[in-house]
Structure 1
Amino acid sequence: MQYKRLLTITKKEFIHIRRDKASLIIALLMPVMMLLLFGFAVNTDVNNVNLAIYDGSNTLESRELISKFTNSYYFKLYGSMDSSEEVEKYISMGKVKVGLIIPPDYTKNLRRNSQTEIQVLVDGSDPTIARTAMSYSQLIANNYSLKIKSVNVKKLTLKPLVLYNPTLESSKFNIPGVIGLILQNITVILTSFAMVREREKGTIEQLIMTPVTPFELIVGKLIPYTIIGFFDMIISLLLGNLIFGVVVKGSMALLIFLGTLFLICSLAMGMLISTVARNQLQAMQASIALLLPSVLLSGFMFPREAMPKFIYYLSNILPMTYFLQILRGIIVKGVGISYLLSPIISLLILIFIIIVATMKKFNKTLD
Structure 2
Amino acid sequence: MSFSFRRFGAVLYKEFIQMRRDRITFGMMIGLPLIQLFLFGFAINADPRHLPTLVEMGDNGPLTRAVIAGMQQSGYFDFRGQVSGVAAGEDALRRGAANFVVVIPPDFERDVVRGRAPEILIAADASDPSAVGGAASALSGIVAVAIRETLTGPLAGGSASPPFSVVLHRQYNPEGKTSTNIVPGLLAIILSMTMVMITAVAIVKESERGTMEMLIATPVRPFEVMLGKILPYVFVGYVQTIVFILAARAVFNVPFDGSWWAFFIGFNLFIVVNLALGFLISTAARNQMQAMQLSFFTILPSILLSGFMFPFAGMPGWAQFIGQAVPATHFLRVIRMVMLKGGDVADVAAECGALVLILVVISAAAMHRYRQTLD
TM over 0.5: yes
Question: What are the within-5 Å matches in structure 2 for residues 1-367 of structure 1?
Answer: 1-153=3-155, 155-363=163-371
Distance 1:48 1:318, change over 3 A: same
Runs of 4+ in 1 over 3 A off after TM superposition: 58-61, 146-152, 363-367
Unaligned 5+ segments in structure 1 are: none
Q: For residue 158 of structure 2, what is the aligned residue in structure 1?
A: none
Question: Would you say the 8 A contact 2:89–2:101 is kept in 1?
Answer: yes
* CA distance 1:59–1:348, shift in 2 (3 Å): farther
The Cα shift of 1:242 comes to: 1.0
| Alpha-carbon displacement from aligned partner over 1:275-326 (angstroms, at most 9, x marks no partner) | 1111111111101111111111111112233322222222111111111111
What is the CA–CA distance in structure 2 between the aligned matches of 1:85 and 1:67, rounded to whole Å?
25
SS in 1 for 2:40: helix
In structure 2, relative to structure 1, the CA distance for the partners of 1:244 and 1:160 (3 Å cut) is same
C-alpha distance in 2, partners of 1:101/1:131?
A: 19
Number of aligned residue pairs: 367
| Conservation of the 8 A alpha-carbon contact between 1:149 and 1:155 | no
Q: Which moved more, 1:119-128 or 1:102-111?
A: 102-111
Q: Report the CA distance between 1:365 and its aligned residue.
A: 6.5
Q: Quick one: distance in 1 between partners of 2:44 and 2:64?
A: 37
Q: Does the residue aligned with 2:198 lie in a helix, a strand or coil? A: helix
- 1:57-99 CA deviation, whole Å, 9 max, x = no partner? 2344433332222233111112111123211210111111111
> 1:238 and 1:354, CA in 2 relative to 1: closer, same or farther beyond 3 A?
same
Whether the 8 Å contact between 1:142 and 1:156 is mirrored in structure 2 is: no
Distance 1:326 1:10 in 2: 51
Structure 1 residues 203 and 15: CA distance shift in structure 2, 3 A? same
The alpha-carbon distance between structure 1 residues 341 and 70, as it changes in their structure 2 partners (threshold 3 A), is: farther
Structure 2 residue ranges without an equivalent (≥5): 156-161
User: What code does the residue aligned with 1:267 have?
Assistant: L
Identity of aligned residues (%): 33
Match of 2:159? none
Task: Give secondary structure in 2 for the equivalent of 1:162.
Answer: strand
Residues 57, 107 of structure 1: 8 Å contact kept: yes
Indicate the larger mover: 226-235 or 30-39.
Answer: 30-39
